[in-house]
Amino acid sequence: MYQIRTDLALETQEKMQEDHVDLKGVRFLEEKVDRNLTISTVVIETENGARTMGKPKGTYITIEAGNMDEEDEDYHREISLQLAKVIEKLAHTKKDEISVLVVGLGNRDVTPDALGPRVVDNLFITRHIINEYGKYAFGSEKVNRISSIVPGVMAQTGMESLEIIKGVIKETKPNLIIAVDALAARSTKRLNRTIQVTDTGINPGSGVGNHRHGLNEKSLGVPVISIGIPTVVDAATIVNDTMYNLVTALTQSEAFESMGNSLEKLNDAEKYELIRELLSPNLNTMFVTPKDIDESVKRLSYTISEGLNIAFMKGVQ
Amino acid sequence: MYQIRTDLALETQEKMQEDHVDLKGVRFLEEKVDRNLTISTVVIETENGARTMGKPKGTYITIEAGNMDEEDEDYHREISLQLAKVIEKLAHTKKDEISVLVVGLGNRDVTPDALGPRVVDNLFITRHIINEYGKYAFGSEKVNRISSIVPGVMAQTGMESLEIIKGVIKETKPNLIIAVDALAARSTKRLNRTIQVTDTGINPGSGVGNHRHGLNEKSLGVPVISIGIPTVVDAATIVNDTMYNLVTALTQSEAFESMGNSLEKLNDAEKYELIRELLSPNLNTMFVTPKDIDESVKRLSYTISEGLNIAFMKGVQ
Amino acid sequence: MYQIRTDLALETQEKMQEDHVDLKGVRFLEEKVDRNLTISTVVIETENGARTMGKPKGTYITIEAGNMDEEDEDYHREISLQLAKVIEKLAHTKKDEISVLVVGLGNRDVTPDALGPRVVDNLFITRHIINEYGKYAFGSEKVNRISSIVPGVMAQTGMESLEIIKGVIKETKPNLIIAVDALAARSTKRLNRTIQVTDTGINPGSGVGNHRHGLNEKSLGVPVISIGIPTVVDAATIVNDTMYNLVTALTQSEAFESMGNSLEKLNDAEKYELIRELLSPNLNTMFVTPKDIDESVKRLSYTISEGLNIAFMKGVQ
Amino acid sequence: MYQIRTDLALETQEKMQEDHVDLKGVRFLEEKVDRNLTISTVVIETENGARTMGKPKGTYITIEAGNMDEEDEDYHREISLQLAKVIEKLAHTKKDEISVLVVGLGNRDVTPDALGPRVVDNLFITRHIINEYGKYAFGSEKVNRISSIVPGVMAQTGMESLEIIKGVIKETKPNLIIAVDALAARSTKRLNRTIQVTDTGINPGSGVGNHRHGLNEKSLGVPVISIGIPTVVDAATIVNDTMYNLVTALTQSEAFESMGNSLEKLNDAEKYELIRELLSPNLNTMFVTPKDIDESVKRLSYTISEGLNIAFMKGVQ
């Protein structure tokens, strides 16, 4: 069956509802924090639900912040605070102190894929200081060990991110991995306005750079929380979607009533088949991104860093 | 009337032919240099031709190099040599020595818009050396004065590129401006595979960053040769084009014969009207670009720099 | 006579006092803002004073912030506020609204010379918005027009900064130039801990990159306030100074009383002559800089940007 | 005993000879390749020799290229070829195909420390292609697997380079590590003009960033060849050295004959004691580097990359 690509569980859930698919095994909650800030939770509870959604079992929390693509310090501070709460909720570690490895995925040299590396630039890193001077260097009873790595992309390293991170985990034994990555959405209106936090890690085919292997508790042996912001839409997706709307419009339009005879009967698969024939094969290697992506990535990476700093450095100044 | 956006005169000319528009006042030549290298020339000779083409009078030379998006040192060397010839042809300066200001347009922080700034990074700059030590510093009778500037983008400078460049010209009095910019094409298959060189300069609405004012002999008082490579397609263009193909397919398809009654009668304007209603307004602020754009821009900026170095530093080592 | 290089009027004044030079025509004030923040003012009032100091007539205000090389958000905020006050004092423009061009001097690719370009990255730029939408876009009666430029270095542009800036001024007609540059100090203990603000502009031989031509009211026709932080010490200076101390120590040391016969009689010029013979000529092309210069430049450029944003965007949010 | 810091075995050997230290257990060879290219080999053969030299047993090959700090494509090509030969000699692997991990040490954001990361940018990376398509993708019988990593610096990652690299080795099992790093020399005249290649790896206290733990066959379990270019001199070293020369000059100078009584009797340790008292403690956190370091690092990183590409990709195009 045809699959429109999106890394956002929220979009998949919406699409399923549109298509009247039965979502047994999937729970959905929505909380309006304020006029411009909504937090939605999709919980995929069963293997059945996972199959229907095309995403692994787990919790997917989405912060939708309609003005996040704009400059507004107070608003971004509020988002960082909400993000910190979400991270704390999903991390639910019992240990007094934890050791966290933050992984900045993506390619620093491609603007919309640079989110992960740039988040890491602004983190408050403590592991080496605690290792050398003890946690009392921070004048606090409880300090988490924060470390970070930017594994780079395969064309530059010759290695999968998974290989590098597995190795680093073996040597430094963190309790928790935070993987930050730029995502692909289905709709341009979500770009740079949505943060997804999940406890399922990063899974094959997700992210702007389309990871081939997953980074999750199963592959790494440590819980993995992933944080992502959609910064691109696949070019094929955007064309597909608009064309799908066109075909749908044509089948419903009164002006084209006579077409009803033929188009009306097309099911989804047939519609997509019709579309596919017209699509340039080049589109598969292309993405769509906003023109002001540099400013957005700069701002958003800072907002995520702050969320992480708040979540893990609480009580330390 | 609806205008599909492209900065390539070659694509406009192709579209006109497709649509059987009469191209009086426009000359077209094509030379196959070898299997993977074609040089086309579009000369817009009359004001009438300019109006039809939607581009100013002048010569537009396009180097189409099918494998330019790949790594192949010898092939890129060949392209640089051809580019140097094209530049020399359009520059046709009689003066023994010229003073050239190379302008790297675009935003260094947005990968597909970074072509201009990166070309400037690899240029052989001589003006300051000649000013200080004389041209004999190069052990040559004839040395051109090469200078360069990266004006930046308006959001960072608060100024139009035109203002900055006009000012620099007043102070340093070059005989020739070379403006390098990343372009928008209509078709993804041209991205990173085409170099356009023209003697008409940069005109409003062109370039990835969509300049508001032209950089041309009229606005600057000095001849302007512009060199560009298409690195993006406007998102609206790509969707429009594919949908146009879909509507056209539907009107012609035997399978949808019955639709013929209504769709067949739609003219171009009506088709685009139908499409426009389905398009997300977000698309106007989005572009489509290849996923390997960082490697391509790195490679292509070097190929253009080399072309400029060959064209202007001939006889000097 | 031998001249130790420093861009800080405060250091020159100190050296003069050490050497018991008569500083007629030079006024000196010092204000302790708090334990870790001192503001000193050197006013060179006469041509005589200027000759003695080896610096042009004018006001040199130095903010000495002992902990400025460390991370402490509140402290840096306080420095930005003080800097804003100093800028307002030296700018003393009567006009209701002014048009300010901020020039980021230096080489973005050499860490200790990147201060100027990086200050510009964080500025709040308004000129293009006011030009397009009017000042009411900011919901304020009075808004200054802020623009900025990073002219780059001569090896990359083939042009003097002076040429580029003169041209830009002719086209955009600002009322005030703010030139930001990394400076050379005489003493390593001032590096990254001192901000000098002057109304004399940038003068030949100053800055890390050693400008050949001045940027000042005389050369530009517009008042120029320059803001600088010393990030390097000339390698020759540091060696010279330490050796001078050694020779002085030897001439005074009881342990070396017998040397007194010969060394005691050496005057300054002779001491420096003795030293010069031992210095490697390589040293003239070298500078000394702290190992954590990247973090410092990142932090300090932000502190200066904030000072400028506060000074010029007051009343606008 | 006082230790002047240098990462170059050649400089240590020279210093020992100056000081007439017995260098039993250390062999020295010099080969003049041509007027501007000398290859010296220091072999530390015994533990005794290692103790005297303050460096581990092994082979240290130094390519001295007097004009390497200048732009000259042919000369740099020649250096790359010589470097390739030296690498092949030290690698002396018997295996038909090897798997090489190139490690780019240092801080990309500090110009003179960016050599390692920048070398990695220009490498020809093959491991991922061979893993996916087999070596026949290269149309060659024998292809080495090249991978690379830039571990970053501890302040950014919270981890030692050693930890990261050990982890990556466990996962990807290379046969050979090439560690590239910017070095500290004793003399400014060697900066950017010398390449040291050794089979002893990187050892504590070496490199611009002063590694705390070694990267060598003992710590990593795999042979480690390190390649370094000195780009800085420690500020304390340069001052010390010049002052040492001064004191020595004073003790020998006829003009200061009378001083002979006291200074003549000072041994090295006493001279350094005298100097130390005059040195600013700040100097320990400072380095000296050439003003054109950005151009040099750009050029030299390319020269090393090419040497590695030639050494490992022979027979592949």
Q: Which pLDDT tens digit goes with each residue over C108-148? A: 999 999 999 999 999 999 999 999 998 888 877 788 999 99
What is the percent of chain A where pLDDT is above 90?
64
Backbone CA torsion sign across A34, A35, A37, A38: positive
> Would the CB atoms of D159 and A172 count as touching at under 8 Å?
yes
In terms of DSSP bridges, do strands A58-65 and A194-198 run parallel, antiparallel, or are they unpaired?
Answer: antiparallel
**How close A217 comes to chain B (CA, Å)?**
29
D147 and A CB contact within 8 Å: yes
Q: Looking at the predicted structure, is the pLDDT value of residue B1 above 50?
A: no
By mean pLDDT, which of A162-171, B44-53, B266-275, D185-194 is the weakest?
B266-275
By mean pLDDT, which of A49-63, A257-271, D193-207, D286-300 is the weakest?
A257-271
* Reported confidence tier of residue A283, pLDDT bands at 50, 70, 90: confident
Average pLDDT, rounded, for chain A: 88
Among the listed residues B291, B298, D164, the one whose alpha carbon sits nearest the alpha carbon of residue A207: B291
Strands (E), chain B: 26-34, 37-44, 58-65, 99-104, 145-149, 176-185, 194-198, 224-234, 286-290
Partners of residue C163 in chain B, C-beta under 8 Å: 168, 171-172
Identify any residues that bridge with A38 across adjacent strands, giving them in sequence order: A32, A64
Q: Looking at the predicted structure, is the pLDDT value of residue A50 above 90?
A: yes
Q: Looking at the predicted structure, is the pLDDT value of residue D272 above 70?
A: no
* Reported confidence tier of residue A244, pLDDT bands at 50, 70, 90: confident
Partners of residue C295 in chain D, C-beta under 8 Å: 155
Q: Looking at the predicted structure, is the pLDDT value of residue C177 above 60?
A: yes
Q: Looking at the predicted structure, is the pLDDT value of residue B251 above 90?
A: no
The residue with greater pLDDT, D278 or D259, is D278
D293 and C CB contact within 8 Å: yes
* Reported confidence tier of residue A271, pLDDT bands at 50, 70, 90: low
**Apex B291 CA angle, B290 and B297, nearest 5:** 70
Using CB atoms, which residue from A256, A278, A280 is nearest to B262?
Answer: A256
Instruction: Give the separation between CA B179 and CA B228, rounded to whole angstroms.
Output: 8
Partners of residue C148 in chain B, C-beta under 8 Å: 156-158
What was the pLDDT predicted at D268? 65
First to last CA, chain A: 52
B161 and A CB contact within 8 Å: no
Rg (CA), chain A: 21
From chain D residues 209-248, the ones with a CB under 8 A of any chain C CB are 209, 233, 235, 238-239, 242-243, 245-247
Q: D9 burial class (0-12, 13-18, 19+ CB within 10 angstroms)?
A: buried
Partners of residue A286 in chain B, C-beta under 8 Å: 188, 233, 288-291
What was the pLDDT predicted at D241? 76
| CB neighbours of residue C8 within 10 Å | 26
By mean pLDDT, which of B118-132, C56-70, C199-213 is the weakest?
C199-213
Instruction: Give the separation between CA D47 and CA C314, rounded to whole angstroms.
Output: 69
What is the percent of chain B where pLDDT is above 70?
86
Using CB atoms, which residue from C150, C157, C167 is nearest to B170?
Answer: C167
What was the pLDDT predicted at A260? 47
What was the pLDDT predicted at B169? 98
What was the pLDDT predicted at C260? 47
**How close B280 comes to chain C (CA, Å)?**
26
Q: Which residues contact D158 (CB under 8 A, 6 or more apart)?
A: A125, A126, A127, A128, A129, A145, A146, A147, A148
Q: Token match 């800028």: residue?
A: C87
Residue type, position A112, single letter: P
Identify any residues that bridge with A225 across adjacent strands, giving them in sequence order: A178
- D41, D60 in Cβ contact below 8 A? yes
By mean pLDDT, which of A230-239, A253-262, C92-101 is the weakest?
A253-262
Interface test with A, best of B69, B71, B108, B110 (most A CBs within 10 A): B110
The residue with greater pLDDT, D240 or B275, is D240
Partners of residue C127 in chain B, C-beta under 8 Å: 158-159
Interface test with A, best of D123, D131, D156, D170 (most A CBs within 10 A): D156
D95 and A CB contact within 8 Å: no
- D8, D227 in Cβ contact below 8 A? no
What is the percent of chain C where pLDDT is above 90?
63
B139 and C CB contact within 8 Å: no
Of all residues in chain D, the one with the smallest CA distance to C107 is D294
Alpha carbon of residue A5 to chain centroid:
13
By mean pLDDT, which of A130-144, C72-86, C248-262 is the weakest?
C248-262
Q: Token match 């000013």: residue?
A: B131
Partners of residue D239 in chain C, C-beta under 8 Å: 238-239, 242
Among the listed residues B315, B280, B313, the one whose alpha carbon sits nearest the alpha carbon of residue B80: B313
Using CB atoms, which residue from C246, C259, C283 is nearest to D246?
Answer: C246
> Would the CB atoms of D291 and C285 count as touching at under 8 Å?
yes
What was the pLDDT predicted at B262? 53
Of all residues in chain D, the one with the smallest CA distance to C106 is D291
Using CB atoms, which residue from B121, B155, B167 is nearest to C125?
Answer: B155
Q: Looking at the predicted structure, is the pLDDT value of residue A180 above 70?
A: yes
Instruction: Give the separation between CA A229 and CA A302, rounded to whole angstroms.
Output: 12
Using CB atoms, which residue from A125, A156, A164 is nearest to D125?
Answer: A156
Interface test with A, best of D149, D165, D170, D178 (most A CBs within 10 A): D149
Q: Looking at the predicted structure, is the pLDDT value of residue D153 above 90?
A: yes
Average pLDDT, rounded, for chain B: 88
Interface test with C, best of B102, B165, B171 (most C CBs within 10 A): B171
Q: D74-105 pLDDT, tens per residue?
A: 899 999 999 999 999 999 766 678 999 999 99
Instruction: Give the separation between CA B70 and CA A285, rounded to whole angstroms.
Output: 14
Q: Looking at the predicted structure, is the pLDDT value of residue B304 above 80?
A: yes
The ipTM (two decimal places) reads 0.91
Partners of residue D286 in chain C, C-beta under 8 Å: 188, 233, 288-291
Q: What is the mean pLDDT of residues D191-209?
A: 92
Cα dist from C230 to C30, C206, C296, whole Å:
20, 11, 11
Q: Looking at the predicted structure, is the pLDDT value of residue D128 above 50?
A: yes
